[in-house]
Amino acid sequence: MTGIELAGLDSSEAAGERDEEIVSTARPSEAIAALYLRHHLSLFRYLRARTGSDDEAGDLTAIVFERAFSSMARYRPRGGGIVAWLFTIARNAALDAGRAERRHRLVVEPARSVDAEAEPREPVGLEETVMKREQMADLRARVDGLPAVQREAIVLRYAGGLTARQIAGTIGKSEAATQKLLSRALETLRESYRDDQ
């Protein structure tokens, strides 16, 4: 790839500017390759939270980049930039798949950094494994109980790793409204835990 910097997964404004530069200056095949390298993990995590398996999330991630490649000429910068555009495509692909399969199961797993995935894990005992699964099932149920827009914002934030600005661009709200939406969703989750104690 000529002159295109691909190093690092940076969520800063500079990364967004690099994404915009890549799309505006590189050939479409180079641009989509660069965007894939920069964003496929966060898109996969988001789609994994929206689907029932790694295979489904992988298939949908591929669909996202196919759709992005075919519509790249029509891309116009707006709130949230390239990341919001890609996550909007991902959200629509997940909705399409959910309608096609007539099921939609939310799975929330904490986002891990690329470095954390490479680190060896300590052996975990059966009791600890069962407790973690129960805690995750409880969290999934609580997140499933949120209103749809709050649930979507939480999944975009914690599974996809998006900023409030990027979430706003994805769900079509202002950044301030998105920040309030996230705050309310988190407060609702906190209250549900407090009510159980």
State pLDDT tens for residues 123-168: 567 888 888 888 888 888 898 899 999 999 999 999 899 999 999 9
- pLDDT for position 45: 93
pLDDT at 121 over 60: no
Structure-model confidence comparison of residues 115 and 190, the more confident one? 190
> What is the CATH code for 13-108+122-196?
1.20.140
For the chain, give every domain's residue range.
13-108+122-196
Higher pLDDT, 188 or 26: 188
Question: H/E/C letters for each residue in 117-181?
Answer: HHCCCCCCCHHHHHHHHHHHHHHHHHHHCCCHHHHHHHHHHHCCCCCHHHHHHHHCCCHHHHHHH
pLDDT given for residue 6 in this prediction: 42
Mean pLDDT computed over 89-108: 73
